[in-house]
Amino acid sequence: MSQHRRFRFAPSPNGPLHLGHALSALINQRRAQETEGRLLLRIEDIDTTRCRPEHEDAIFRDLDWLGIGWETPVRRQSEHFDAYRDALARLDAMNLVTRSVASRREIREAAARAAASGNPWPRDPDGAPLFPGDAAILDEAEIRRRLQDEPQALRLDTKAALARLGEIPRWRETGFGADQEIVADPLSWGDVVLARKEIPTSYHLSVVVDDALQGIDEVVRGRDLYPATSIHCLLQELLKLPAPDYRHHRLILDDDGRKLSKSIASTGLGSLREAGATPAEIRKKTGFEDCSP
Ligand code: GLU
């Protein structure tokens, strides 16, 4: 097994950590120990409207309580917008970036109208309607007006990106007890947003830039992010960044079989602690001890 690997736990401070985060952090810690490696903490706070300092403080408190250590300084994404702008400029110089003006709501409404008239609209792996191009939603004059007067989202021209590479990217997946090469499916995401109107980057772009800058060897995260890896390995190839291995682990579900959400207090680590739970009980609740994730 390779030694001295570098891992990261990368929560967003937009709500309290829950049992699913605990499982992720614990597996990261175990992998770092197994490889005599390092565990870094990254605060993914590009969405400055939803991320709060009190949630960041709670992340530190919860991890510390669980017995998970991390190295300092912590990388906080909101302090590195320039690095993401540089990556975006490189993609733009390859002619792979398109401007778009239709809002998410307009795309959703267009998809709903199409579905109502019997034409189901393709959706991305997260269930959001794919962006069909501004021209499918807005008239030409309106597009021109918005391009001139309003901030725009920047999207990856995914088809052009694949054409430029000439082959479909792949990643190494070591989750689920196997070691496999996975063929990416970036087209399933359509033309993903690389920078939002109000934020000069996106989750996909910043995660890829940071995993490379922080020298991450193995990304350990929940299975909900498995489909996003198709975009991540495409961006890594385009930007010529080293590709980490990926280990996607099972998710913890609620009683109704749904993914845990930050708004459900009963599974929040802080609420569980206040109700008297011990770190050992949290480990047990996540199923961490008895699973090889
Ligand atoms: N910041 C993401 C989250 O909190 C995780 C990103 C990742 O691990 O790639 O869901």
43 and 59 part of one domain: yes
270 and 236 part of one domain: no
* Domain of 48, in residue numbers: 1-79+252-293
Rounded mean pLDDT, 221-236: 98
Rounded mean pLDDT, 75-97: 98
Does residue 73 have a cis peptide bond before it, meaning omega lies within 30 degrees of 0? yes
At 173, is the pLDDT very low, low, confident or very high (cuts 50, 70, 90)?
very high
Is the pLDDT confidence value at 277 over 60?
yes
CA of 43 to the centre of ligand 1 (A): 9
CA of 221 to the centre of ligand 1 (A): 7
121 and 262 part of one domain: no
CA of 24 to the centre of ligand 1 (A): 10
The model carries a pTM of 0.95
Alpha helix segments (H runs only) across 67-202: 81-93, 104-116, 140-149, 158-165
Is the pLDDT confidence value at 292 over 60?
no
Cβ contacts of 254-257, under 8 Å, gap ≥ 24: none
CA of 147 to the centre of ligand 1 (A): 32
User: Is residue 219 situated within a structural domain?
Assistant: no
> Is residue 207 lining ligand 1, measured as CB closer than 6 Å?
yes
Q: What pLDDT was estimated at residue 46?
A: 98
> Is residue 11 lining ligand 1, measured as CB closer than 6 Å?
yes
116 and 163 part of one domain: no
Tally of CA atoms within 13 A in the half-sphere of 18 that contains its CB: 18
Query: Kind of pairing, strands 170-173 and 180-183?
Result: antiparallel
At 1, is the pLDDT very low, low, confident or very high (cuts 50, 70, 90)?
low
Pocket probe mutation, ligand 1, options 63, 225, 246, 251, max atoms within 8 Å of Cβ: 225
125 and 195 part of one domain: no
Rounded mean pLDDT, 186-208: 97
At 291, is the pLDDT very low, low, confident or very high (cuts 50, 70, 90)?
low
Which CATH number goes with the domain that contains 231? 3.40.50.620
> Is residue 10 lining ligand 1, measured as CB closer than 6 Å?
yes
202 and 143 part of one domain: no
**Considering its fold, how many domains does the chain have in total?**
3
